[in-house]
Structure 1
Amino acid sequence: MNAASALPSLTGAARALMTRDLRLLWRRRGDALQPALFALLVVVLFALALGGEKARLASVAPAVLWVAVLLAGLLALDTLFRGDAEDGSLEQWMLAPVPLAWLVAVRTFMHWATTALPLLVATPALGELLHLPRDQLPVLLASLALGTPLLSLLGAVVAALTVGMRRSGILVALLALPLYVPVLVFGAGSVAAAAQGLDPGGALLLLGAGLVLAVVLAPLAAAAAIRIALT
């Protein structure tokens, strides 16, 4: 067996990291449920604040759901790399025989899968709470499917930039929100366009283009930020 064959492959490294993250997630089941519960709380509070009027709730339902998903992802953003930085795992990532950007991409995918994906699955039920018109649901789901991975990738860059700071919760939010606003505008705007009888394809295409660029560039930028923070 030569040395090259003994090195872990990209898929093997990804599988090991995903298995580790799932085990840690299972041990901290209470913490894992916080983003979903927070999003539910935001939706319920909006419904109560608007008085339960069906027409008013239906008009703001897409924007409320988008804000709830965005804030839920932001709530878990500070912990994206912080636990690994505290226990020394990030240093091991840098010494691993696989690219650091690949491990960052896998961790970002797990962040999306454990925070945004459950909310994406629960969107039809949350939409019913806000009396979302059912003809707007497919466009909303499409915008969330394109926008939430983009939010996670942008958030990974911000989390990597602040990973060397002890208390960076507010700073993470201040840095991430300006990057999140265009995604929010195009995501909620696509549903608003569909509600007005317009073509939502333009906004969805922009989200898709942003997602493609983020998939390529965000892991590289986050990996560079981690190297700078740890050196």
Structure 2
Amino acid sequence: MIALLVRDLRLAIRAGGGFGLGLAFFLLVAVLVPLGVGPEGGLLAKIAPGILWVGALLACLLSLDRIFALDFEDGSLDLLATAPIPLEGVVAIKALAHWLVTGLPLTLAAPLLGVLLNLPLTGHGWLVLSLFLGTPALSVIGAFGAALTVGLKRGGLLLSLLVLPLYVPTLIFGAEVVKRGAAGLSVEAPLLLMSAITLGSAAALPFAAAAALRINLR
């Protein structure tokens, strides 16, 4: 399992879907939004939670089609399907690798980008916490979508259409955590709901993704 994780991390970085691509997109969002809406501090502070979460969501979406595509193209996915490791475990490891090269770097860089969007200092900790708890769900849901579309020509667009509606609850609750935390309000309800989504996704979707892979590999 560890060897598979290390291999996927190396493949993700070499294929151009690692740290640089997601962080560059996240930075572009944080820089372009003030240019588009104006430099008014109050307005930026109001929309910062939603903008940062949308940027993180789209940055994670960029590399979803690579989760299984490279292994499918070179035949490694067929070998993994017959390996002693359960296919559900393979899906979980690939989702973890995706989070390590996308979600985790975005989480660590988020406070700096929050400064660009004039996010109040009281919201920075909640921003990091919400992304840390919410981005794993984005990777697991994305792995499920990638399993459904693996092997399809131009499957990236279909993958986006499948995954984006499933991302909406995490986006809503994640942005709400940051918004309430920045305002000094209670964040317990949205934080618990977002955590429940992440735990539920991690528990159920690897099995659904593995079933989809078995169907596509027949």
Answer yes or no: is 1:193 the counterpart of 2:180. yes
Gaps of 5+ in 1: 1-13
2:37 aligned partner, one-letter code: L
Counterpart residue number, 2:4: 17
Pick from 3, 27, 30 the counterpart of residue 14 of structure 2. 27
1:223 aligned partner, one-letter code: A
- The C-alpha deviation readout for 1:182-211, integer Å capped at 9, x for no partner, is 110111012222344431110100111111
Q: CA RMSD in A?
A: 1.3
Q: Indicate the structure (1 or 2) with the bigger Cα radius of gyration.
A: 1
Q: 3-state SS of the aligned residue for 1:179? A: helix
Number of residue pairs aligned between Structure 1 and Structure 2? 217
Do 2:17 and 2:62's aligned partners in 1 also have CA atoms closer than 8 Å?
no
2:65 aligned partner, one-letter code: D
Counterpart residue number, 1:214: 201
Answer yes or no: is 1:125 the counterpart of 2:112. yes
1:82-231 paired onto structure 2 within 5 Å = 82-231=69-218
- The 1:25–1:191 alpha-carbon spacing in structure 2 relative to 1, beyond 3 Å, is closer
Answer yes or no: is 1:58 the counterpart of 2:55. no
Deviation >3 Å, runs of 4+: 25-28
The alpha carbon displacement at 1:22 in A equals 3.0
Partner Cα separation in structure 2 for residue 176 and residue 25 of structure 1: 20
Partner Cα separation in structure 2 for residue 103 and residue 169 of structure 1: 21
Do 2:133 and 2:195's aligned partners in 1 also have CA atoms closer than 8 Å?
yes
Gaps of 5+ in 2: none
- The C-alpha deviation readout for 1:94-153, integer Å capped at 9, x for no partner, is 110111100110110000000111111101111111111010112111111111001111
The alpha carbon displacement at 1:218 in A equals 1.1
The alpha carbon displacement at 1:25 in A equals 3.9
TM-score, normalised to structure 1's length?
0.90
